[in-house]
Amino acid sequence: MRCLLLASSSPYRRELLSRLQVAFEWASPDIDETAHPGEQPEQLVRRLALEKAQALVRCYPDHLIIGSDQVAISEHGIVGKPHTFERAKQQLQSSSGKSVSFLTGLALLDSRTGHAQVDCVSFTVHFRSLDEHQIERYLKAEQPYDCAGSFKAEGLGISLFRATEGTDATSLIGLPLIRLVEMLNHAGIEVP
């Protein structure tokens, strides 16, 4: 069986990939994640997912390398990681009663042949109307400052939602497993 490599330092993506019960290594790619002028969000996540995988080819010349990247999009544009309590509070206040779409780019690169499968999976979160107390209580409990959109859907963040919409809830956490299984199967890796 070919060796798998996750091109990510994200503990969330490692946890998701471990659900598939396949052996894998992980390494952090070092790339510039700045959007190109005029680049649309879907183009951005597809490009970055592939560039993350490509960044590790030289060190892992006989692997299937998984790259992934995600952006959140609100009516105000791209929503990044907040990094602080105040920015997270502003993001959640802005999302209250509204919808935020998440685009997750996914790439599976065969470092031996250079062949890549690249896709983008979308998922939408519809937020409940949230008051300041609810937002502050949530942020103090979960501290999701390293998460785009300022919540952890796999944890207490689910309590902020009115509904979700999409084909693969794992894409919301940053690694769309349904699409990844299809890619792995296409590459000859059978996942039960």
Q: Which of 30, 32, 62, 69 is catalytic?
A: 69
CA dihedral 41, 81, 124, 175 (to 10 degrees): 80
Sign, CA torsion 112/110/51/87: negative
Q: Which two tokens stand for residue 18?
A: 């471990």
To the query of whether residue 131 is one of the catalytic residues in this protein, the response is: no
Q: State the Cα–Cα distance between residues 46 and 103, nearest whole angstrom.
A: 9
Pairing status of strand 99-110 against strand 63-74: antiparallel
Residue 148: closest CA among 77, 54, 98: 77
Residue 177: closest CA among 106, 125, 126: 106
Q: Which two tokens stand for residue 51?
A: 């560039």
**Catalytically annotated residues:** 69
